Structure 1
Amino acid sequence: MTLADRLRAALLRSSEGPVIEGDDYDRAAGLYLPAAVLVAVTDRPDPGVILTLRQAHLRRHAGQISFPGGRVDPGDADAEQAALREAEEEIGLAPALVEVVGTSDVYRVGTGFSVTPVVGVVPPDLPLSPQESEVAAVFEVPLHFLLADANHLRRETPWEGRVRHFHEILWEDRRIWGATAGMIVNLARRLGPVLA
């Protein structure tokens, strides 16, 4: 069974734990714009996941680690097309190189987006080229590391007069937290039992 087949089957399963529906704070307006990210899994004996480090000067999520992605534009047919378009714009990943296998649980972020993680398999060691105005670095984290429950640290911090809870994943010198970590935890609850 190929990696794509295994991922496809795992995404169809029920989650092995509660789904995290979004960031741990209320959105006053209650309206969310559709967005999508690409969870690009490299097809190698020890698969990895491609992540980006966002530039420090950006207005939203500055300096954070994220999946390539963004809002669903009016010209996009769906979340899948938006995720593929954004990945090509942000890191130079050609859509033709991505075998889309499915989607994971939608995640709402406090900045007003309802994000659909689109999971796809890509060849390893692609020569990716980050868009310098938005992406400071592109790197790969082993999938088994991201799926391991022991690496999903539960954190809390005071924020706007109350305690905010979130997940954090520490890999080498990188801190993956917030929405990206939440989407990874959701993904792990679907994929972990199958890919462990």
Structure 2
Amino acid sequence: MRAVDAIRARFHASAHIPAPLAGDADHALAGDVPVPAAVLVAITDRPEPGLLLTRRNEALRKHPGQIAFAGGRADPTDTGPVDTALREACEEIGMPRDLVSVIGCDAPYRTITNFSIVPVVAVVPPDLPLVPLEFEVADIFEVPLAHVLDPANQIQAEAEFRGSMRRFYEIMWQDRRIWGATAAMIVNLSRRIGA
């Protein structure tokens, strides 16, 4: 059995999924309505699968230089989270929609910036000639899936935000710091597929 087939089977066979990290709803401003969004959690089809991530452009006003999945806010014309994730991944990194095999949607994650993000988990061919949308994406890279899904590499940290302490996860890989919502969605996937 291919590694990605085993991941697909575990994703759908999870009868007792541990409660996912829900996000930062408790830090949102009162009355804020979350903005729908989706990201593509693209797993590369290799004997040892990888996970595609981006580094946001340093010139961006929000979250400059941070590690993220390709994705973003839903458009009114999107038919749902899968459509949003595929459209955004095509726009941001040139991911061909017809080469994405969707496994399913994981639990939504609420961010401090008031987005309700649906992670769309999918398998993609390895070594695609992806091209970053320079205004938004500075770099596209692949991390070993086993590394980021390993709970030993998912470190809890905390920082003060709006007068109270906020806990979050961070995952280091080489010189890259994956943290916040991206790390939390990886932790949720790890818990779901029992990595």
Same fold (TM over 0.5): yes
Q: Is 2:193 aligned against 1:191? A: yes
The RMSD of aligned alpha carbons is 1.5
Identity across aligned pairs (percent)? Answer: 52
Residue identity opposite 1:23 in structure 2: D
Q: Where do 5+ consecutive residues of structure 2 fail to align? A: none
> Is the CA contact 1:152–1:167 (under 8 Å) kept in the aligned structure 2?
yes
Which residue of 2 is the match for residue 9 of structure 1? Answer: 9
After superposition, the Cα gap between the structure-2 partners of 1:176 and 1:14, relative to the gap in structure 1 and judged at 3 Å, is: farther
- Residue aligned with 1:157, SS: strand
Counterpart code for 1:78: G
CA deviation map 1:23-76 (0-9, x unaligned): 375211241011000000000011000000001121222211000000110111
Partner of residue 71 from structure 2, selected from 55, 69, 72: 69
State the secondary structure of the residue aligned to 1:57. coil
What residue is the counterpart of 1:51 in the other structure?
53
Aligned residue number for residue 24 of structure 2: 23
| Cα offset, 1:133, TM superposition | 0.4
The ranges of structure 1 where at least 4 consecutive aligned residues each deviate by more than 6 angstroms after the TM superposition are: none
What's the TM-score, normalizing by structure 2? 0.93
**Per the alignment, in what secondary structure is the counterpart of residue 194 of structure 2?**
helix
Match of 2:181 in 1: 179
- Displacement after TM superposition at 1:91 (Å): 0.4
TM-score, reference length from structure 1 = 0.93
Aligned to 1:83: 85
Structure 1 residue 192: Cα displacement: 2.8
Alpha-carbon spacing, 1:10–1:42, altered in 2? closer, same or farther (3 Å): same
Shift, 1:82, TM fit: 0.6
Cα distance in structure 2, aligned partners of 1:25 and 1:61: 20
Contact 2:39 2:85 in 1 (8 A): yes
TM-aligned CA deviation for residue 191 of structure 1? 1.6
Residue-by-residue CA offset, 1:71-127 (whole Å, 9 max, x unaligned): 110111110011001001000111011011111111001111100000111111111
**C-alpha separation in 2, matches of 1:91 and 1:50:** 10
CA distance in 1, matches of 2:130, 2:177: 22
Q: Is the 8 A contact 2:4 2:49 kept in 1?
A: no
